[in-house]
Amino acid sequence: MSSAQPKSRGRVLVVLHDELLNGATISVLRAVPLLEEQGWQFGFWVPQPGPAANFLRKRGAQVLGEARPIVSGFEALREPPGAWRRLSATPGYLRRFSKAVRAVAPQLVHSNSLYSYAEALTARAIGVPTILHVHDMAPESRKLAIARWVCRTGVNRTVAVSEACAASYAIDDWAPEVVYEAAPIPAKPAPARDNPRPFVVGTVGVISKRKGSDIFVGAARQVLPEKRDIEFRLVGEPTDPLDRDWGMDVLQAAAAAGIRHSPRVEVLEELRTWDAFVLPSRKDPFPIVMLEAMASGLPVIGTAVDGISEQLTSETGILIEPESPTALANAIRELSAMSVEVRRAMGLAARERVSSHFDLARQARGLDGVYRRLAAHG
């Protein structure tokens, strides 16, 4: 996808498990141009049709793939076209994937998400060095042992997006290598407005339990009756099939509370119109939207869970307890009452933290090192 022509280090086949342009996909695609500058060439196996395949094809990338019958969990298995058709289609799907891998003959396979485990195991089985890149916390269920086995034994290398993420897959003295996710740094920070009316606070993400969308709505319900000079914005759609009905109920509650909802936006442009960003996740390995808000120079509020605790410091934002609309409401009140000077300083400190710890060049260097070691030693 880059026009540079450095000395070739080899071809990488990136496997995406979701037809949508989700956070894990965006994260790795942002690093690809920098990795191409190091001499890596890329092809992509992507479920299609869908937005991810369309995005890559428009950029001239090699795009392979087909509809993916594999899902995680019994509830998801019952989603259309149904369990029997999914299960019966899986062997043929993996045979065609295996054939495509042999035809591409990559130096290595980069399987991007725990949920692309089936493709990762298949690539490893036919002798292609394989990385499993986990952007997900390990499942808290009987699937945990299987997930840890896949990461430790089923593939050549496993990369995690944060220390918290890596620790959730750890076995004895082994844990995945950490390569932090990253975000681009806008040329200018979002303007800090003096005494904004309304004070705009929002969240971005899939409308889901794990992102705490209902907690955001609950906080708005507490704040809006007393402070009509605060505007709440909710960006996202209920695209997780297991939370779809729940998510529609949350959106109805958001509308009733007076929250402005947008299904999708250009995130970096939208953030420039906000005064604060919040992410009340219940579970989150290392959300790139938090990094995007920080890089935009916004003061931020996040729950003290998983990788969010690695992103924020006391200088860059406010960490709150999870599962608490009241804690979130109080933090929003606190932030909206701060002077413009304090909010600006917090936002600039957040921007500097992304620049110094979580920039794209650092992420690309980390992945380049993993690629080189795997290509050299397996």
The answer to whether 257 and 220 are in contact (CB under 8 A) is yes
239-264: burial string, b at 16+ Cβ within 10 Å, e else: ebeebeeebeebbebbeebebeeeee
Q: Whole-angstrom Cα distance, residue 212 to residue 210?
A: 5
For 10-182+359-377, CATH gives 3.40.50.2000
Q: Whole-angstrom Cα distance, residue 284 to residue 281?
A: 6
pLDDT in tens, the chain (378 residues): 555 567 788 999 999 999 999 999 999 999 999 999 999 999 999 999 999 999 999 999 999 999 999 987 767 777 778 888 999 999 999 999 999 999 999 999 999 999 999 999 999 999 999 999 999 999 987 889 999 999 999 999 999 999 999 999 999 999 999 999 999 999 999 999 998 999 999 999 999 999 999 999 999 999 999 988 999 999 999 988 888 999 999 999 999 999 999 999 999 999 999 999 999 999 999 999 999 999 999 999 999 999 999 999 999 999 999 999 999 999 999 999 999 999 999 999 999 999 999 999 999 999 999 999 999 886
Dmax over CA atoms of the chain, in Å, equals 63
Q: Whole-angstrom Cα distance, residue 288 to residue 37?
A: 23
The answer to whether 69 and 48 are in contact (CB under 8 A) is no
Return the amino acid letter for 272: R
Helical packing angle, 340-357 and 288-295, nearest 10°: 120
Q: Which residues pair with 219 in a beta bridge?
A: none
C-alpha distances (whole Å) from 178 to each of 22, 89, 136 are 20, 34, 13
Phi, psi (rounded to 5 degrees) for 281 = -60, 150
Tokens describing residue 369: 């090192």
Q: Whole-angstrom Cα distance, residue 137 to residue 363?
A: 19
- Give me the residue label for tokens 């960490």: 319
Mapping DSSP onto H, E and C, the string for 196-219 reads CCCEEEEEECCCCCCCCHHHHHHH
Phi, psi (rounded to 5 degrees) for 327 = -60, -40
DSSP summary character for residue 242: G
CATH topology of domain 199-357: Rossmann fold (3.40.50)
pLDDT of residue 5: 64
Helix/strand/coil percent split, the chain, to 5: 45, 15, 40
Helical packing angle, 360-377 and 23-37, nearest 10°: 70
Q: Whole-angstrom Cα distance, residue 257 to residue 242?
A: 24
Q: Whole-angstrom Cα distance, residue 200 to residue 377?
A: 51
The answer to whether 180 and 161 are in contact (CB under 8 A) is yes
pLDDT of residue 3: 53
Strands laid side by side in the 177-178 sheet: 62-64, 40-45, 10-16, 108-112, 130-134, 157-160, 177-178
Domains 10-182+359-377 and 199-357 share a fold: yes
Q: Whole-angstrom Cα distance, residue 309 to residue 286?
A: 9
Q: Whole-angstrom Cα distance, residue 245 to residue 316?
A: 35
The residue among 319, 353, 368, 316 whose CA lies nearest residue 183 is 353
Q: Where are the domains of the chain?
A: 10-182+359-377, 199-357
Tokens describing residue 290: 């938090």
Answer positive or negative: Cα dihedral of 198, 203, 208, 214. negative
The answer to whether 286 and 163 are in contact (CB under 8 A) is no
The answer to whether 271 and 292 are in contact (CB under 8 A) is yes
pLDDT of residue 302: 98
